[in-house]
Chain A
């Protein structure tokens, strides 16, 4: 009797694990069948594109409580797709993997608030811009910092290898140890609150989203004219003219009919 009981207690974790796994397995199989029926019902002309994103980049893309990637990027892509006939599946692949995965053709495009830069243009092609962004400084309410000039000898937190990181490098030098690169902008802002760093640099939309979600955080933002204007575009593999034209066509259409402005809340000429 005792032996049986012991055996059972040893098996219990295994059993639970296998039940959970089985549940997951059936779950994913049902979703995959539904998605495949959708694509077959509109067979032929509807093209399915796979986009990669870093999904802790609210409001551009983030995960809802169902595990779907949602946000401005997704809305823009869907609106474009409605106009020129394609479907998009936005996958959360993480920020850095987007670049090699687009390059290797594992995903069709990168859609993650990616800024169009000259360096990135060397390896990738970009659509026309769909959003204008600037970098802003985030400091504590009682901070003496008033401009980008003031942070030259201070500690700065950024999202690693983002354009905010590049702006910080321009300010204080390529290999300056005062720049601290974190996985996401919210963590970089949190580090200002924690006192690890004196200021954070991030894209306006993301910073404002953070402040909107944390109204009691004692933070203020500083606009500085020395930060260059940036434009977000969808990123495709270099030389993929067909896809680039398709996306640009869709983008032009939603610019003309005002849907883009509706989604982003911003007029872009």
Chain B
């Protein structure tokens, strides 16, 4: 019926064109960066590069990969992402289980819930937080990148909503068979929670990989910066002190193409992981938002 009317057909063609255009617009800037990173210095400096490399060259990547500080910052980022995500997953998983219980089963639940929710809606602000980090001697330590973000109430809520969707009978059966709560959590809940664990892992990984402000704020030595902070200082603040190059090298080098290469390498892990986890986070997100 309506599918067959001329007006709907015209609309449909127009609609598809519009949405395809919009979705391409979402990645055009990335394609441009990629093209610049593979172009020759002269072409990039003259702004001749559009969406395709001009005078293809791998020079920028060679230079980038020869910079020990850049490589070290990647290592720091990988380490923080792995440790940070692991810690967040463990803590979130453990905390969400008791919080998913009914108040009649776990009476202190409301007190705990309020502790979580209040921490989400009110905070001391930047300055008091900075001073606490100083007081507990986390300044200039790698752990300042991992520990402060370990608990995220939003992720706990996502997880506990998933737990609530698990049939009660499964838990009851386990408890009757003599399993304790820890056993139930790890042997029964863990295997069936994989979709929401994947969602939380994705969010946490993206958070850690992208975090730059904590490095800037709490680490004084540029050699300890994670990749995102390194990129922030070099590309946004244009602070070349951490580039470890002789002035002569700097002259030879087009900063434009090297920057583009660095930006692309910085985005690459997300571009790689994202398609695999996409189906999970869409499910996880809608589960968290619609049911709530």
Q: Does B associate with A?
A: no
Residues of chain B touching chain A, judged by Cβ–Cβ distance below 8 Å, are: none
Residues of chain A touching chain B, judged by Cβ–Cβ distance below 8 Å, are: none
